[in-house]
Structure 1
Amino acid sequence: MFKTLIDAATLAQHVNDPDWVVIDCRHDLMNPAYGRDAYAAGHIPGAQFASIDDDLSGAKRGADGVFRGRHPLPERATLVETLRRFGIGDDTQVVAYDAHGGMYAARLWWLLRWLGHEAVAVLDGGLPAWQWQAPGQPLATDAPTRAPGKLSDRPALTRTVTVDDVLANITSNTNVVIDARASDRFRGENETIDPVGGHIPGAKNRFFKDNLQADGTFKPAEQLWQAFTPLFTAPASAIMQCGSGVTACHNLLAMEVAGLPGAALYPGSWSEWCADPARPVATGA
């Protein structure tokens, strides 16, 4: 069972394994059509495409009409049905990949763990690694289908916090909020992506790309451990967030690789937080 990362050479040995499901999670925040177009142009053989917007996120507004963020969590029952359609069952080994160092694949990794599914891993290095670590494996252009899986909704292997929890934490200072966005967004200097710039008061910045080596694969566990441990007193005291709850999962994955499990995800993240002008905002470093 692979629970965090898997290398391309190992995946190549299992692309035809009926008990394995490979999911292409490529996405572009500024171009929603990119993922499907890239998948159609070429993907790992047997892989199916999951849309961050349509498959791996829920409605942006709740039943009360309140904005929940750019990529809020889907309803658990809806997510279970979506993943069953991909052929995922309780005994399925799932491998998620993208072409961006795992920034989107980590979302599916986290969501499956949220449903209590352990056998899910991110392809280390993504599609680029597949192309140089698995020579002789051509990309496919077909769109395969699988028989529905029998995935169960089991106790979560992850934790979440709400916007109210994060707001209360500003006063209690019980937990540390760690923001996975780039430093310019954290400081409030990128209005293209964040019309309301800045960060949650008291938050620390750990850009998710700092988890990666130059070739796009994850840094060794020891290096990740050394990078994360100065940020908190214990992993369980950390709350991970980003722009919309997607790349925060990359930091959560990196912490699992480092042997530091237990941090929580704030799913609404900055896009939910800044939607209410009554919530405090900090800027600068």
Structure 2
Amino acid sequence: MIISIASGKGGTGKTTVATNLAVSVDGPVQLLDCDVEEPNVHLFLRPVIEETTTVTTPVPDIDLKKCNQCKLCMAICRFRAIAVIGDTVLTFPELCHSCGGCMAVCPEGAITETGRELGVLEVGAKNGVAFVHGRLRVGEAMAPPLIRAVRARTWADGLTLIDAPPGTSCPVIAAMKDTDFVLLVTEPTPFGLHDLKLAVEAVKILKIPMGLVINRADMGDDKVWAYARSEAIPILMEIPYDRKIAESYSRGDLFALTMPEWKARFRGMADQIATLTGKGAGIQ
């Protein structure tokens, strides 16, 4: 089973839910941090890194000696990553989405591919939890290819948890796509509700079953609960605005380990998700 933990708004507690859920279930579990622009799962899991790989994406490299300035490559590129100006062909690697269309249409075979560095992928483990995350290169704007590289390490068996980026843009879709369940984390505030609605609509487009965790549940108003009822979204957990939890978080500790009653609650939520997805009576 693959569960993506997402939200429309940053700071709602996605990483808190993902890491505590990972250490609460029994059996093989893998945690992928797909928030490659600002990964922070490692701060709580503290894995031993066993592998580091540089991730690149293919971009066009044009041989001007072969090029006849036909402009077919420029015409096919939706992202304006190639410009033909007189006898010169300019490429803009930061705009390239690595579709390969320019190579396919070039009649002279003047275009080959070279790699552009996106960031690094790190793999490790801690206390039985397998860990993978990506770290986007500073100044890099193309997060989805690195997220896909992290997702490519998904296990064939066992439970995989994905800590998705905030928002509802392309990086989030890359993290949520082709998962079995999306666990949305929100807070009962006007901003939390507004961005939750955006996230719900995105998940509906992907046609993935979803559930809700309400963090800091004893603050704000009851509009998030009313919205969940109106959309028939099950509320699987409520986490209070608790000083002990906040203190545990500030130390970089997982409160499911320091407060055993919460480990049982996270395990119960995992069992609920397994039932909702038809993946069995529980996660072993």
Fold similarity call, TM over 0.5: no
- Range into which the TM-score falls when normalised by the shorter chain: under 0.3
TM (normalized to structure 2)?
A: 0.28
Greater strand fraction, Structure 1 or Structure 2:
2
Quick one: higher RCO (CA 8 Å, sep 6+), 1 or 2? 2
TM (normalized to structure 1)?
A: 0.28
